[in-house]
């Protein structure tokens, strides 16, 4: 395993933790029935939720980049 494999692994674990720490506002039943869906409502995200959203986005981009670089490096060697 090279450095990018380890970075992808660590980023994936941290990304999973970030996703699990985010709070959902809807009930699971609403997801399947489609009732009272507020998916496209304009809601401001502030504070900790904004931090978690931005952190999740950055970690997801880093994870994808590390996996691609790792695969390219394994293909060349």
pLDDT for residue 13: 97
Q: How much of the chain is in helix, strand and coil states, percent to nearest 5?
A: 70, 0, 30
DSSP state of 24: P
pLDDT for residue 74: 85
- For the chain, how many structural domains are there in total? 1
**What would the pLDDT profile of 19-69 be if each residue is shown by its tens digit?**
999 876 666 666 666 666 566 566 777 888 889 999 999 999 999 999 999
pLDDT for residue 64: 97
Domain that holds residue 45: 3-76
pTM: 0.74
pLDDT for residue 60: 97
For residue 60 the two structure tokens come to 């997801």
**What would the pLDDT profile of 10-21 be if each residue is shown by its tens digit?**
999 999 999 999
For residue 50 the two structure tokens come to 């904004």
């Amino acid at each position: 395993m090279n450095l990018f494999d380890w970075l992808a692994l660590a980023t994936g674990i941290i990304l999973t933790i970030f996703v699990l720490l985010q709070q959902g506002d809807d009930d699971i039943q609403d997801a399947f029935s489609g009732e009272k869906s507020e998916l496209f409502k304009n809601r401001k995200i502030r504070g900790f939720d904004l931090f978690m959203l931005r952190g999740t986005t950055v970690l997801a981009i880093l994870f994808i980049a590390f996996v691609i670089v790792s695969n390219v490096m394994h293909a060349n060697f």
